[in-house]
């Protein structure tokens, strides 16, 4: 979590960590702003969304074990690829940008603000296989 924490800190962002009760003390000993997560990943997300709404802020959900944020620029379309082999071929040929967590959050916020449905939660696919991400439209209000 320290790599992610320091990435945000370097950009002037002070994240709040929603963690399980067992890990709460450890996060706080590291000097992190940590609160109990509500008992599950869904509970943590809902708690974060409710707090962001109360504070009038945007909410960006981030895992503490992310190794990098990558954006596949030429694949940012509404075209859905259900065939893993074809999707992986496209991903290999795509222009890939490794960006900071703050740049990723700003991009997601801009996409949400521009979307006609005005979604309130943005995120990324937390797996290394890009083919799984290409199985869905890049912006959607379903199956997040």
* Amino acid 78: pLDDT: 52
pLDDT in tens, 54-85: 988 877 777 777 777 888 776 666 556 778 88
**Mean confidence (pLDDT) of the chain:** 80
Cβ neighbours for 71, distance < 8 A, ≥ 6 positions apart: 96, 97, 99, 104, 107
pLDDT over 90 (residue 128):
no
Determine the pLDDT at residue 30: 93
The two structure tokens encoding residue 21: 């009760």
Whether the CB-CB separation of 8 and 14 falls below 8 Å is answered with yes
Q: What is the pLDDT of residue 138?
A: 67
* pLDDT band at 40; cut points 50, 70, 90: confident
Could you tell me which of 144, 93, 137, 141 has the C-alpha nearest to residue 116? 141
**Structure tokens of 44?**
């943590």
Q: What is the average per-residue pLDDT within 77-105?
A: 80
142 falls in which pLDDT band (50, 70, 90)?
A: low
Q: Report pTM.
A: 0.68
């Amino acid at each position: 979590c320290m790599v992610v924490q320091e990435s945000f800190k370097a950009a002037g962002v002070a994240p709040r960590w929603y963690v399980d009760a067992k890990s709460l003390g450890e996060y706080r000993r590291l000097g992190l702003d940590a609160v109990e997560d509500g008992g599950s990943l869904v509970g943590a997300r809902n708690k974060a969304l409710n707090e962001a709404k109360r504070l009038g802020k945007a909410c960006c959900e981030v895992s503490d074990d992310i190794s990098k944020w990558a954006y596949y620029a030429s694949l940012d379309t509404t075209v859905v690829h259900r065939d893993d082999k074809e999707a992986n071929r496209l991903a290999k040929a795509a222009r890939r940008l490794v960006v900071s967590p703050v740049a990723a959050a700003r991009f997601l916020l801009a996409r949400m603000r521009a979307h006609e449905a005005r979604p309130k939660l943005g995120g990324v696919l937390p797996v290394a296989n890009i083919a799984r991400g290409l199985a869905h439209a890049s912006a959607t209000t379903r199956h997040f």
